[in-house]
Amino acid sequence: MTSLRSCFFLASLALPLSTALAAPPAGRLLAAQCAQCHGTGGQSASGIDSLAGESASELYSEMLEMKYSQDTGDIMHRQARGYTEEQIRLIANYYATLNGGGSGDGGSGGGSKSGDD
């Protein structure tokens, strides 16, 4: 009985460790949450603004403004509140590395694990 239980315990410890090792850069991982509304890679296909190519400082200050605003009704204010300032910085830095708008050269080129965080 006991050994079976400790086996489960060990298995549950090993799982988060292995997913952490396989994880992509933190900024991209966090930014994946924004994609459902702002589009994959920050290129919005809906009416919502694209985020790709905006400067990191602009995104960062916009997010902080929304995070600390008294306005509670707006969907983005609730999104922004869910992240720490450090996470917002990572997200902003990630979007700033993407090509915004224009047809550009093969914007989807991602996949590379650039070590900059």
Based on the shown chain and the rule CB under 6 A, indicate whether residue 55 belongs to the binding site for ligand HEC.
no
Based on the shown chain and the rule CB under 6 A, indicate whether residue 36 belongs to the binding site for ligand HEC.
yes
Can you state the percent helix, strand and coil of the chain, rounding each to 5?
55, 0, 45
Tell me the H-state helices in 1-117.
2-22, 26-31, 35-38, 56-68, 75-81, 85-96
Question: Can you tell me which residue has the tokens 């929304």?
Answer: 66
Give the x-and-dash track for 81-110 against ligand HEC (CB under 6 A): --x-------x-------------------
Cβ 8 to ligand HEC shortest distance, Å: 34
Residues that bind ligand HEC (CB under 6 A): 33-34, 36-38, 48-49, 51, 59, 62-63, 75-76, 79, 83, 91
